[in-house]
Amino acid sequence: MPETLKPSGRIYCALDTVDVAQARALAEALKGSVGGIKLGLEFFCANGADGFKRVADAGLPIFLDLKFHDIPNTVAGAIRAVAPLGPKLFTIHTQGGPEMMRRAAETAAEEADRHGHVAPWVIGVSVLTSLDGSDLNAIGVVDAVEAQVARLAGLARTSGIDGLVCSPREITLARKAGGADFKLIVPGIRPAGSAVGDQKRVMTPHDAVTAGADILVIGRPITQADDPAAAARAIADSING
């Protein structure tokens, strides 16, 4: 369970590059300093399954963050397509609805069994950390960010997926809605003194874990450091205060 992880095991580094050689080198450098690597949509569109494999061969678990969002059959087909890669976790959009989430969970379990892998965590994206209340209002969501995240967390839990991506500021609400075993994957993490960048709802690693985060997704504070492994270790040290 994530709660038993040592601090470094809670950190998944988001690689901010589409260069496979650079991504592989970063993954190699970060072995022993982080719990895993996050590969996102830009990287996967540029490099596909081959790029995934080359980074995964460094030996770290991979968070495949493609945020699937389509009709249930299409999402199930997409999961079947990436299942042979054996990601540790992957994302879908909770706003795809309960049937889409249910099919995603079922398909992930079936395909993991078929390929002899440990079943990946199916993680629902709630409200992107680049959005705030005014952004939600602009697309017709009248509730506050917190209420929307709580609603989607409850929907994700009842639909059978493993957890939620949420801003650090919604951790407590998501935990209450999802339950004790619900996995909370939290981007928008910035060490004290770091630039906020394009994230609107941020928190330090220590405060996020204290609030109940399981996995912290951290990119530029690690990848843009002169010594990424040392930066990751410093972040891990900060988790315990």
Residues carrying an active site annotation? 67
CA separation (Å) from 32 to 26, 87, 100, 159, 229?
Answer: 12, 18, 36, 35, 9
DSSP 143-204: S-HHHHHHHHHHHHHHHT--EEE--GGGHHHHHHHH-TT-EEEE--B--TT---TT-SS-B-
For residue 239, the surrounding DSSP H or E stretch is helix 228-239
Q: For residue 217, give the nearest of 182, 184, 175, 189 by alpha carbon.
A: 189
Instruction: Tell me how far the alpha carbon of residue 112 is from its chain's centroid.
Output: 19
Report d(CA 90, CA 84) in Å as an integer: 13
Please report where in the chains the tokens 């470094």 appear, as a residue: 8
Q: Angle formed by the axes of helices 145-159 and 98-115, to 10°?
A: 50
Put residue 71 in one of left, alpha, beta given phi > 0 → left and psi -120 to 50 → alpha.
beta
Burial class (CB in 10 A: 0-12, 13-18, 19+), 190: buried
